[in-house]
Amino acid sequence: MTQFADGITPEIAASHLPADEYEKTVEILGRAPNIVELGIFSVMWSEHCSYKSSRTHLKNFPVTGDKVIQGPGENAGVVDIGDGQACIFKMESHNHPSYIEPYQGAATGVGGILRDVFTMGARPIALMNALRFGAPEHAKTRQLVSGVVAGIGGYGNCVGVPTVGGETNFHSGYNGNILVNAMAVGIADTDKIFYARGAEPGQPIVYVGSKTGRDGIHGATMASAEFDDESDEKRPTVQVGDPFVEKKLIEACLELMDTDAIAAVQDMGAAGLTSSSVEMAGKGQVGLQMDLDKVPQREENMSAYEMMLSESQERMLFILKPGKEHIAEAIFNKWELDVATIGETTDTGRMVLTHKGETVCDIPLDPLAEDAPMYERPWARAIPEPAILASELSQPNDYAETILTMMVSPDLSSKAWIWKQYDRHVMADTAASSEDPADAAIVRVHGTNKAIAITTDCTPRYCENHPIEGGKQAVAEAWRNLTAVGADPIAITDCMNFGNPEKENIMGQFAECVEGMSEACRVLNFPVVSGNVSLYNETNGFAIPPTPAVGGVGLIPDMSMRMGFGGVKTGDILMVVGDTAGHLGASIYLKVIENREDGCPPPVDLDVEKRNGDFVRGQIRDDAIKACHDLSDGGLAAAASEMAMASGTGLNLVHDSELELHGWLFGEDQARYLLAINEAKAKDIRKAAKASGVPLHVIGIAGGNALTINGTIEVSISDLAAVNESFMPTLMGEAE
Amino acid sequence: MKSAVIVFPGSNCDRDAAMAIEKVTGTAPTMVWHQETALPDGTEFVMLPGGFSYGDYLRCGAMAGVSNIIPAVKAHAEDGKPLLGVCNGFQVLIETGLLPGALMRNASLHFVCEKSPLTIENGNTQFTSQYGANRDVIIPVAHHDGNYFADDETLDRIESEGQVVFRYARNPNGSARNIAGITNSEGNVMGMMPHPERAIDVDHGGTDGLAVFESILGSA
């Protein structure tokens, strides 16, 4: 016979936890949970906070390496960038809230990921984002793009952290569930990194930042459920952000971090006060005693339940060393932010909350964190689709027209309409952002001559058709993009966006993507140091394409070694690193020209990827390369078009291989780079490639003002630029 | 040269401003918190940086325009010493009445961040004398409310008196007569939406903004 506490009906219990998990709470407590306790168990054990479906697979990721200071498990990953400095970064999803309320959903996504980074003591130096919207023609797409872009800009611009890059795709698979993945990157001194662990009994718990309101209650639970037609009714669970408070919070926290007052720190993100306090206690193996009457409150008569589950933004929780409260008070008062000592750590191992003189919660902490459910959900392997080679497809009649059609397509078109709304230059260290011809963003480490390179990548159509190869490819492309700007790739963060894990095929997509990603991370020595899982991205039973977004970070040891794909001049020799077999399965060409999305994506040979990339990076550092662009979406034709547009100089390609021309131009074979080489250096680089066993093919020469192929096919740079720039303004109803 | 950068809650280009001033003058400016009531003794140049002072609540620059430090900033201007406001700093100067006109929401209604080609209309000011014969520069803009507006009489007057210093060659925000930066009638207070402090470095934004700071140094 199931027990229930006073005021708890079976319906209330069921709306918080599945029956078996409810029974577990009764077992842990030795009695039925009250409403506050039920709320706390429900958010801590939500998919969003507990990773209960994904943990069993995520443990396969390689998470260590000689540069890794902190892997997954803290607020963000930390890697060593030399000279006593660390780069701290993470990517996180804010998909569900952004679909319901695009401006605030996206804005608070940016705010949340920034807090994850500065909580660890880093000054944020860059923001990135990976966005997936529904089909351009879908009725909601324009409104969602408009709101999400304004929200990202509205928050990032105000806090004064440059938004330097990202990617945006459109596909009908996201019609009912858009993806908004935001990434933040910060820099700290390696001896000034702050963790959630470190608390000891008898230390004050200090709340800082905004007051607590009723917004966002059960946001973490919402993010762990499917959508249906009534999802708009969930709008009140979306939080509201205030970037002005966040900016003050960054400055105040960094000021406090300059003192020796802090024992542990955690931002209040998903599940707010509950998860921040529980995580710090769990990591310090201590208990918590908090008086909720002392929590700064924005609204009257808030209940203990509401305070513990609120996801009001711009709040942090510190555990200070005893007697240091006055230091925090002085700093937060100066910045006109709330600061309140709301309790202390204990040696009981229990979380005890009082409100209005009564004990409203008394839970043993260890089982709350450690006994969280973990599922071995059944999963099924995807059935591989056959490869599609160029020889199986008829050639287009008009190649020039085909290239223009591809360059105006949603995935290849210019996203200037989006990135012009982001401040990319604040902090005055941006060396390359979305506007610049470079495969990754480049941000100088302030006051030094080294730079961080950052990229976000994923090709969902590959993951859909072959999750293992797609998972490998997402990691490999991030590694390649960092290589193409001259960086040493260091590590990745990930944002695993999938449908309902209770379905075998979806869980299979997840498991196989993780499998592919893990293999790529291992071979490329490119470990996972942080990440986030977003499941249940489904509406009315339709799941999104599997989208394991990868955020890669690398180091450019000297700014003079950075590389881009512009600046090509007449007479430069064009070469392609890597072999082209003409793989057109799941390619942009197949989708845009043949209106098909089937076929196996191009296989990823990780050893070849590594060999070719290491060669390219070495040649960049030997100053042998003038311009470098990775070959990915749209193949050689897209890369050459972009290089020509960026340089204002034509590229004249000569096709003299056995491979059909459409395979050569549009094939998306991996591990390839397009290079422009000064004529005087052409001989040396060919010699070097031969010595390294790297295939290097001369494919043409720069000059004129058009992209030409064999002198017969010609597309002018001005036509390319005109179509490439037209898609976004047309979509947004702002075409001139 | 002794300089000061005023820091309001929400300023976010204060560090960039300080870097530019230090690069040109060789001396780091004093960072003056908005709740101070006096500038450091001997301050020769004051800069109001970009950002979102007070979160742009009420109106961009409105609350900063009445903060504690503003009387001291006004007195500095009345003494004829150079005062530069960039972006949000320009908005603050307008709110304090030190410069004429208004800055409205961009005509596109979008925030705009781009490298903006500008024409120097007046190369004889305390802020532009070091540009020499160079009249075409590229300096980044990044703002949501930079659409300069004034009545025709005011526009005619500031144009005829050489107070229009920078004009956009490609208007990003709908500003009247492509105005990007103006001075007061005395010529010692300048406000501009483009960010010269983001164009002092070949590795970031180019170097077309350097001469603004060199001019101030030369004039002080």
Digit-coded pLDDT (tens) for B141-179:
999 999 999 999 999 999 999 999 999 999 999 999 999
pLDDT (mean) for A295-310: 94
Pairing state of beta strands A528-534 and A651-653?
A: unpaired
Determine contact, residues A115/A246, Cβ cutoff 8 Å. yes
pLDDT (mean) for A111-117: 96
C-alpha dihedral, A101 to A106 to A107 to A108, nearest 10° = 90
- Residue type present at position A123: R
Give how far Cα B38 sits from Cα of A254, B34, B76, B94, B157, Å. Answer: 26, 10, 10, 21, 33
Cβ <8 Å between B55 and A242: yes
Q: How far apart are CA A121 and CA A117, in angstroms?
A: 7
pLDDT (mean) for A49-58: 91
* Tally: H helices and E strands in chain A: 25, 28
Q: Band of the pLDDT at A251, cuts 50, 70, 90?
A: very high
Residues 6+ apart with CB under 8 A from A683: none
Kindly provide the ipTM of the predicted complex, given to two decimals: 0.97
| A568 to chain B, closest Cα gap in Å | 19
Q: What percentage of chain B has pLDDT greater than the value 70?
A: 99
Q: Band of the pLDDT at A2, cuts 50, 70, 90?
A: confident
Of B34, B60, B76, B87, the catalytic one is: B87
Counting Cα atoms < 13 Å in the Cβ hemisphere of A208 gives 36
Q: What pLDDT score was predicted for residue A50?
A: 86
pLDDT (mean) for B11-28: 96
Q: Which of A248, A425, A435 sits opposite B142 (nearest CB)?
A: A425
Q: Band of the pLDDT at A219, cuts 50, 70, 90?
A: low
pLDDT (mean) for A424-434: 97
pLDDT (mean) for A21-26: 95
pLDDT (mean) for A230-238: 61
DSSP A336: T
Q: pLDDT for A7-18, tens place per residue?
A: 899 988 998 999
Determine contact, residues A142/A732, Cβ cutoff 8 Å. yes
Length reported for chain A = 736
Phi, psi of A552 (to 5 degrees): -105, 145
Residue with tokens 């501009």: B192
Contacts of B108 in chain A (CB under 8 A): 734
DSSP A437: S
Q: What pLDDT score was predicted for residue A225?
A: 64
Q: Band of the pLDDT at A234, cuts 50, 70, 90?
A: low
Q: What pLDDT score was predicted for residue A632?
A: 96
Assess whether B87 carries a catalytic annotation.
Answer: yes
Determine contact, residues A243/A111, Cβ cutoff 8 Å. yes
Q: What pLDDT score was predicted for residue B218?
A: 79
Q: pLDDT for A483-515, tens place per residue?
A: 999 999 999 999 999 999 999 999 999 999 999
Cβ <8 Å between A160 and B54: no
Q: pLDDT for A620-677, tens place per residue?
A: 999 999 999 999 999 999 999 999 999 999 999 999 899 999 999 999 999 999 999 9
Q: What pLDDT score was predicted for residue A640?
A: 98
Residue A220 has pLDDT above 60, yes or no: no
Q: What pLDDT score was predicted for residue B217?
A: 87
Q: What percentage of chain A has pLDDT greater than the value 70?
A: 97
Q: Provide the 3-class DSSP secondary structure of residue A544.
A: coil
Q: What pLDDT score was predicted for residue A78?
A: 98
Q: Which of B19, B20, B198 sits opposite A425 (nearest CB)?
A: B198
Chain A residues whose C-beta is within 8 A of a chain B C-beta are: 150, 153-154, 157-160, 242-245, 247-248, 335-336, 419-431, 435, 444, 559, 734
Q: What pLDDT score was predicted for residue B43?
A: 97
pLDDT (mean) for A617-622: 98
Q: Provide the 3-class DSSP secondary structure of residue A371.
A: coil
Q: How far apart are CA B13 and CA A427, in angstroms?
A: 7
Assess whether B197 carries a catalytic annotation.
Answer: yes
Q: What pLDDT score was predicted for residue A229?
A: 63
| Average pLDDT in chain A | 95
Residue A305 has a CB neighbour count (10 Å cut-off) of 19
Q: How far apart are CA A421 and CA A157, in angstroms?
A: 9
Q: How far apart are CA A128 and CA A552, in angstroms?
A: 11
Q: How far apart are CA A533 and CA A420, in angstroms?
A: 29
Determine contact, residues A78/A120, Cβ cutoff 8 Å. yes
Q: What pLDDT score was predicted for residue B29?
A: 98
pLDDT (mean) for A34-56: 91
Tokens of A579: 């072999």
For the full predicted model, state whether its pTM sits above 0.90.
yes
| Average pLDDT in chain B | 96
Residue A228 has pLDDT above 70, yes or no: no
Pairs across A and B, CB distance < 8 A: 91
Please give the helix or strand (H or E) that residue A113 lies within, else none: helix A102-118
pLDDT (mean) for B53-58: 95
| A261 to chain B, closest Cα gap in Å | 24
Q: How far apart are CA A381 and CA A504, in angstroms?
A: 9
pLDDT (mean) for B77-99: 98
Could you tell me where the DSSP H helices lie in A564-634?
588-593, 606-621
Q: Band of the pLDDT at A686, cuts 50, 70, 90?
A: very high
